[in-house]
C-alpha cells in the first residue's frame, strides 16, 4: 500500500489558517508522506507561499462569494487531468469539487455540524452542502462520536454504515517550553497569573463570556491577566475592535504564528475555551494540556468525549460560574498540577501515529471492491 497515490483537498492549511480542520489535514498530509505514500494536497493560495512541490496552491480572488467558486473550478481542472487511488476531501467544501469532477468514489471528513446548531448564515447553502456531500461520499469520517451521532440526528436519511470515527491528532511540537514562555511573558510585559484563549474569534466561541468572567476574577485577583490570541471572522470584526478599545488591560495579540503557539500555551496558567456550539473536537485544549497548562472549557459533549476527566467543565453562557471555577483553579496549584500530570498519558491517544494508523485502515477499507 506504500505506493498509493492520495489526493487531499482542503480550502486552507496552516500557516494561513489555524482552525482544527486546517491543522488536521496538514498533519495528515505530513504523516502520510512520512509513511511513504505519494500525496498531493490541493489548497487555496491565501497569503503564504508554501515551499512544497506536492502542495498545490490554487489561485483565486480573495473576496467573499468569489473565492470558493474559483477554488472549486481549480480543483475540478486538476482532478480531471490527474489520477489518484484515494481522494479525500476535508469538510464539505473540500468534497464538493470532487463530486463535480464526476469522481464516484471519495472520502470526506465532517468536523462539525455548525450550520445545524447555530445561525452562521441565513443562506441554507451550508446545510444543503453537508447533506449532499454525506449522501455522495463512499466513506464519511468524523472526528468524534458526538459528530457521528449528530449526523444521525440532523440527517436521519444518512447511511450509518459508511460513517467512521477516527478522532483528531496534535503535532509533536506541543510540549512545555518554560524558557521560551518566560521570555514571551517578559516581551508582553506581563506579571501575575495568565488566563489564555487561543482560537477563532467567532460568536459561538463565547469570548464575551470569557471577558465577563475575567472581570469578575480581576476584582478578586487584581494582577490576573487575560491573553486572547487569534483573528476575528468577518462577523466579529466590529466587536473585536470595540473590545480592543474598551478593554486596555486585556492583551489582544492577534494572529499567532504556528511556531509561537506552543510558547503561548506554555506561558498560560489556565487555558480557557468556552464555546456554546459547533465544536466537533476541539484541538486547542489537547494542545494546551500537552504544553503543561490546565484547561477549563464549556461542557460541550464533544469536549467531554475528548477530554474525559482531564479538564474542568463549566456549562456554557454562565460567566459567573466560569469565574468561580477560574478562582478555584488559580487558588489550587495541586489541582492544576494533577490535571496536567494525569493528562500526559491520556493525550498520547491523539498523536498522529495513533490517529494516522486508524486513517490508514480506513483507506484500506475504502479500497476494498474499489472500481475506477
The model's pLDDT over 187-232, given as tens digits with 9 standing for 90+, comes to 999 999 999 999 989 888 999 999 999 999 999 999 999 999 998 9
Asked whether 8 and 28 are in contact (CB, 8 A), the reply is yes
Band the pLDDT of 372: cuts 50, 70, 90: very low
The structural domains of the chain, ordered by start, are: 5-169+351-367 (3.40.50.2000), 178-349 (3.40.50.2000)
Average pLDDT rounded to a whole number, residues 133-152: 96
Residues 6+ apart with CB under 8 A from 164: 139, 140, 141, 142, 362, 365
**What is the number of H-type helices and E-type strands within the chain?**
15, 13
Q: For the purposes of burial, counting CB atoms within 10 Å of the CB of 369, is it exposed (0-12), middle (13-18) or buried (19 or more)?
A: exposed
Q: What is the grid cell recorded at 119?
A: 445561525
Lowest mean pLDDT among 148-157, 170-179, 189-198, 343-352: 343-352
In this structure, of 19-23, 59-63, 123-127, 182-186, the range with the lowest mean pLDDT score is: 59-63
The per-residue pLDDT for 7 is: 98
Q: Specify whether the CB–CB gap between 7 and 88 falls below 8 A.
A: yes
Residue 1: its pLDDT value, please? 46
- Backbone φ and ψ for 234, nearest 5 degrees, come out as -65, -25
The burial of 24, by beta-carbon neighbours within 10 Å (0-12 exposed, 13-18 middle, 19 or more buried), is given as: buried
| 299-to-19, 43, 61, 285, 366 alpha-carbon distances in Å | 20, 33, 39, 13, 35
| Mean pLDDT of the region 128-132 | 95
Kind plus residue range of the DSSP H or E element containing 139: strand 139-142
CA 310, CA 350: separation in Å to the nearest integer? 14
Model confidence band, residue 95 (pLDDT cutoffs 50, 70, 90):
very high
Q: pTM, whole model, 2 decimals?
A: 0.90
| DSSP reduced 3-state for 250 | coil
Amino acid at each position: 500500500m506504500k505506493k498509493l497515490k492520495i489526493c487531499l483537498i482542503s480550502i486552507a492549511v496552516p500557516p494561513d489558517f489555524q482552525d482544527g480542520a486546517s491543522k488536521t489535514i496538514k498533519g495528515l498530509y505530513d504523516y502520510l508522506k512520512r509513511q511513504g505514500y505519494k500525496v498531493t494536497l490541493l489548497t487555496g493560495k491565501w497569503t503564504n507561499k508554501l515551499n512544497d512541490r506536492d502542495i498545490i496552491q490554487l489561485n483565486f480572488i480573495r473576496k467573499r462569494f468569489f473565492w470558493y467558486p474559483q477554488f472549486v473550478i481549480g480543483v475540478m481542472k486538476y482532478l480531471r487531468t490527474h489520477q489518484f487511488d484515494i481522494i479525500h476531501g476535508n469538510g464539505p467544501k473540500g468534497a464538493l469539487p470532487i463530486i463535480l469532477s464526476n469522481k464516484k468514489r471519495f472520502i470526506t471528513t465532517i468536523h462539525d455540524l455548525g450550520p445545524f446548531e447555530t445561525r452562521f448564515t441565513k443562506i441554507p447553502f451550508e446545510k444543503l452542502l453537508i447533506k449532499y456531500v454525506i449522501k455522495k461520499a463512499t466513506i464519511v469520517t468524523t472526528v468524534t462520536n458526538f459528530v457521528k451521532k449528530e449526523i444521525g440526528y440532523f440527517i436521519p436519511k444518512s447511511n450509518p454504515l459508511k460513517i467512521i470515527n477516527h478522532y483528531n491528532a496534535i503535532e509533536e511540537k506541543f510540549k512545555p517550553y518554560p524558557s521560551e514562555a518566560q521570555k514571551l511573558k517578559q516581551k508582553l510585559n506581563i506579571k501575575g497569573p495568565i488566563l489564555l484563549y487561543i482560537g477563532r474569534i467567532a460568536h459561538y466561541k463565547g469570548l464575551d463570556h470569557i471577558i465577563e468572567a475575567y472581570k469578575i476574577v480581576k476584582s478578586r485577583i487584581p494582577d490576573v491577566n487575560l491573553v486572547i490570541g487569534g483573528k476575528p471572522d468577518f462577523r466579529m470584526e466590529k466587536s473585536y475592535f470595540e473590545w480592543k478599545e474598551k478593554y486596555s488591560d486585556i492583551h489582544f495579540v492577534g494572529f499567532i504564528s504556528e511556531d509561537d503557539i506552543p510558547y503561548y500555551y506554555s506561558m498560560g496558567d489556565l487555558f480557557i475555551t468556552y464555546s456554546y456550539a459547533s465544536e466537533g473536537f476541539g484541538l486547542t485544549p489537547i494542545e494546551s494540556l500537552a504544553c503543561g497548562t490546565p484547561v477549563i472549557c464549556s461542557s460541550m459533549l464533544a469536549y467531554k468525549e475528548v477530554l474525559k476527566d482531564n479538564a474542568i467543565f463549566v456549562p456554557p453562557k454562565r460567566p459567573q460560574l466560569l469565574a468561580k471555577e477560574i478562582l478555584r483553579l488559580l487558588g489550587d496549584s495541586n489541582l492544576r498540577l494533577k490535571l496536567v500530570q494525569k493528562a500526559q498519558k491520556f493525550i498520547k491517544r491523539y498523536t498522529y501515529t495513533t490517529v494516522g494508523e486508524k486513517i490508514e485502515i480506513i483507506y484500506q477499507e475504502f479500497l476494498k471492491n474499489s472500481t475506477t
